[in-house]
Chains A and B, each alone.
Chain A
C-alpha cells in the first residue's frame, strides 16, 4: 500500500549478483566470439548460470524450480542485456520454458523443466514464418491430423538455437483462422523431415531457418489444447517482450555510460566535446529514451507480477523499448562519429544486437497496434 518503484532486498541482491557475474564472465570479447559462430552459445557458461539457480527460478518447486516471481528475475535480464551475454536466457527460459510451464501436461513438464533448470535441455519457440509477422494470422504452417498424431509442413524463420535445442515449440495451424486453430507442437529438430540452416544476421545471434517436410508428431507432443494455443502463446510472448525490454534497459544504461564517457574524454577545439550543447543533446536523447523505457518496463513487469491484465502495459513497454533501442544507439554513434564506426569499438555490439531486440517479439508498430486495440475497444 505504498507507491514504491524500488526492488525489495532480495531482488536488489539478485540484481547485484547478476551484475557482478555477467561483468566477470561476459566481457564484450565473449559476445564477439559467438557472433555468427558455428556454436550456438557457450554451454559451460549456461551450466554455471544453471548452478546459480537462475534458469529454473520461476519454475514451480515440484519441477526443480524456486517458485520465484516475474519481478525476481527481472534484474537478471537487465544485466544480461547490459553485458550482451551470449546465452539464450530470453529464448529458452523467458519463452521456451515459460510455454512449457504454462501449457504443458504434467508428463511434459516433468520431462523438460527439471532438465531445463539444470541446464541440460533446451526448448525454444518457432513461430515466425516467411511473411515476417508475429500475430496469429502469421501462423500458417500446416498440421494435419493423421492417425493419433499430426503431420507438419512449413517453414519457420528466426528460430533461436535450433542447432542445440532438444525440442522446438512449433506453432502450427490445425484449422480455423486468426487466433482460432493455432496449436503448439514439441518437435525434435533432429526428427525426420526437419532441416535447419543457421541464418547469418545483424546481431550475430544463433537464429535458424527451420523447414518441416511431412514431419510426424505424436499426440503426446501437442503442447496445450489443440486449436486453442493462441491466447497462452500470446501471453507468454508479451511477458517475454517485457523481459526483452528489460534487456534493452540494461544495454541502454551501458550505451549511455559509453557515450557520456567518450564525450568527457574526447577533446576537439581544445575542450571535451561533451561541453558542446549539440553533444549534450545527443547524450540526453539516450538518457530520455532510457528513462521512459525503464519506467514503462518496470510498470509492465509489476502488472504481470501482481497478476493483473498486462497486454496494454507490455505493449507500451516494448513499443518504447523498440524505439529506444534504435534511438539510443544512433545518438551514441553521433557522439562518437568515426571511432564508433570501427568494428573494434564496443558500441557497435550494442547497435547490432539492438536491432534484433527492436524487432524481437514485435517492433514498435506491432505493439502500438496491440495498445491501441486495447484502448479503442
Chain B
C-alpha cells in the first residue's frame, strides 16, 4: 500500500522527537561540517565526538542484527533518524564506514563481523576507501594493486589514489588483484587493511573543495589472512556492486550523505532568497529567480523520493534494494544535478558569491564552497559511467 509517511503512530512520533532532542544536545553548534571538505582540526575533533555519541546511543547500527551490535530496528525508524539529521543539519557518518559494514555484514565471517562492526557501530574506528588507482578510475576493474598469499598473510603491493579523508582513518577497505593471471573483473579481492601496517605510506592530495584526499602506497605490506573479506577473487560481484549502490540498498538502504547536504542547501538557498533584497525587493519576488528555485525544488525533491524508494524497496521486497536501472539512474541524475544546482545558486547570488569569508561573504561563503565541492561529483563513479551501466545493465542496450 502506497505510504510515504513513516511516522503515523505515537511510537514513531516519539522516536522522531527523541532523535531531535538528542541532536540539540549532541551538536549544539549546528556547525556545517563535511568530512570530505573540512580540514580544521578542532572541527574534526568535534565531529568525531558527535558520531561517537550517536554510536553510544546505538543509532549507527540501528537496523543491524542484534548479535552484531545492532538494534534490529525498522527501516522506517532509520528513515526518520536520517530525516531528522537532514533537517537539523547534522554532519554525515565519516567516510565509508557504513559501506564497509554492509560488505562485512553480507560477506564477512562471524569473527570478522564481531571484530570490525563494533568500531563502526561506535564510530571509534574510521574507514577510508582504497579503490581508485592512478590508472584505474572509471575502469576500476583494470586495477593493478597486487595481493599475494604468503603463508598466513597477504602481501600488498601497489598504489591507491584519491582516498577521501583517508589520513583521518584507521583502516582502509582495499580492492586488490589476488590472482596475478586474471584480467578485468575476475580475480579481484577485498581486504580490510589496518593503516598502521608497516609498508603503507600516505601522501596528501588537496582538492579545490578544501578537502584532503590521499595517495596510498603499499610496499610489501603484510596483513593477516583473515583480512580477506568475501570469497577470494570474487570482490567485483560480491562487494563492488555493493559499494556502487545496488547491494548497499539491500543491506542498509542508502546512506544518502549527498542527499542530506542537498536538502540542507535548498533550505538555505530559499531562506537566503527570502531574506536578501535586491532593488528593494526580496529575491523570492524576482520572476527569473522563482523559476530557478522551482527547478531546484523539483530536482531535490526527486532525489529525496528516490532515496525513500530505496528504503521502501529494502523494507518491502524480498531481495530488497533498487535495481541496477533505478540506482544508476538516480546516481547519474544526482551527479549531474549537483553541479547544476551549484551553478544556478551562484547565478542567483550573483557577483557577491565570489567572496569567500568575512562580513560580505554571502551565507558565510557556503554558495561558493558548494560550487567548488560540486566538482567532486565523480566520487563513486562518474555520471557518464552510471549512465552507461543504466543503459546496458538496466535498459538492456548492447555493450
Contact = CB atoms under 8 A, between A and B. Distances in A.
Interface stretch (B91-99, B115-123, B383-391): B383-391
Contact of B297 (A7, A8, A371): A371
Contact of B290 (A298, A301, A368): A368
Given A274-B398, A284-B395, A368-B290, A5 B308 contact: yes
Contacts of A272: 397-398
Given A8-B1, A296-B305, A3 B397 contact: no
Given A264-B398, A275-B397, A291-B329, A368 B295 contact: yes
Interface in A287-319: 287-288, 291-292, 295-296, 298-299, 301-303, 305-306, 313, 316, 319
A320 B273 CA distance: 22
Nearest to A9: B1
Contacts of B396: 260, 264
Given A287-B390, A369-B290, A4 B3 contact: yes
B14 interface: no
B291 interface: yes
A264 B8 CA distance: 46
Given A277-B388, A368-B295, A5 B76 contact: no
A117 interface: no
Given A4-B312, A287-B325, A365-B291, A295 B3 contact: no
Interface string A179-208: 000000000000000000000000000000
Nearest to A312: B297
A256 to B, nearest CB: 8
A375 interface: yes
Interface string B1-21: 111111111001000000000
Given A364-B294, A372-B284, A2 B316 contact: yes
A372 B273 CA distance: 11
Contacts of A306: 5
Nearest to B74: A2
B270 A375 contact: yes
A236 to B, nearest CB: 21
A4 B315 contact: yes
A319 B329 contact: no
Contact of B329 (A3, A8, A287, A375): A287
Interface residues of B, number: 55
A304 to B, nearest CB: 11
Contacts of A2: 3, 6, 74, 76, 312, 315-316
A7 B2 contact: yes
21 contacts: A1-B3, A1-B8, A2-B3, A2-B6, A4-B2, A5-B2, A5-B309, A6-B2, A260-B396, A277-B384, A287-B394, A291-B326, A295-B305, A298-B2, A301-B2, A306-B5, A316-B298, A367-B294, A368-B295, A368-B298, A375-B293
Interface of A: 1-8, 11, 71, 256, 260, 263-264, 271-272, 274-275, 277, 279-281, 283-284, 287-288, 291-292, 295-296, 298-299, 301-303, 305-306, 313, 316, 319-320, 323, 364-365, 367-369, 371-372, 375-376
Given A371-B294, A376-B293, 10 more contacts: A3-B4, A3-B315, A4-B316, A279-B397, A284-B332, A288-B332, A302-B5, A367-B294, A376-B270, A376-B284
